[in-house]
């Protein structure tokens, strides 16, 4: 590594250190502001309680039926998993059940 590239790396490192310090100071400011706001709110702060939804009472089959009713689409089109041994990549592609019947396609 030449002197110039070392000097540039040192400059970038010093910039990074300075930015880190600015961010740490900003975090302290925000934490102080947060504490002050909490203090102002006092006892009026009501914790949010997450009530369980009706979904937890549904069976798995009922959840599937609900999902399918909300996201209804073509029933003759579905996803097919593919994998390429050459590239090592895989994914999904849409496939029509009537893939070889050209007269049925839109």
Q: Is residue 34 part of a domain?
A: yes
Pull the structure tokens for residue 77.
């089109």
Contact between residue 64 and residue 80 where contact means Cβ atoms under 8 Å apart: no
Q: Is residue 25 part of a domain?
A: yes
Q: Is residue 24 part of a domain?
A: yes
Q: What is the pLDDT of residues 16-61, one digit of tens each?
A: 889 989 999 999 999 889 888 888 887 566 666 777 777 778 888 9
Q: Dump the DSSP string for 66-91.
A: HHHHHT---TTEEEEEEE-TTT--EE
The backbone region for 95, taken as left when phi is positive above 0, alpha when psi lies in -120 to 50, beta otherwise, is: beta
Q: How far apart are CA 82 and CA 90, in angstroms?
A: 5
Q: Is residue 95 part of a domain?
A: no
Q: How far apart are CA 70 and CA 98, in angstroms?
A: 24
CB atoms within 10 A of CB 26: 10
Could you tell me which residues come within 8 angstroms of residue 3 by beta carbon, excluding any fewer than 6 positions away? none
Q: Is residue 31 part of a domain?
A: yes
Q: How many domains does the chain have?
A: 1
Question: Which residue range(s) make up the domain with 33?
Answer: 3-42
Q: How far apart are CA 78 and CA 90, in angstroms?
A: 16
Mean pLDDT value across residues 70-92: 86
Q: What is the pLDDT of residues 40-49, one digit of tens each?
A: 887 566 666 7
């Amino acid at each position: 590594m030449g002197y110039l590239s070392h000097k540039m790396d040192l400059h970038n490192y010093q910039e990074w250190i300075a930015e880190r310090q600015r961010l740490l100071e900003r975090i302290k400011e925000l934490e102080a502001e947060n504490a002050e706001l909490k203090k102002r709110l006092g006892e009026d702060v009501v914790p949010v309680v997450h009530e369980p939804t009706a979904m937890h009472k549904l069976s798995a089959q009922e959840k599937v039926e609900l999902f399918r009713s909300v996201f209804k689409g073509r029933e003759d089109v579905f996803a097919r998993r593919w994998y390429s041994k050459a590239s090592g990549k895989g994914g999904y592609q849409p496939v029509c059940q009537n893939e070889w019947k050209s007269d049925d396609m839109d």
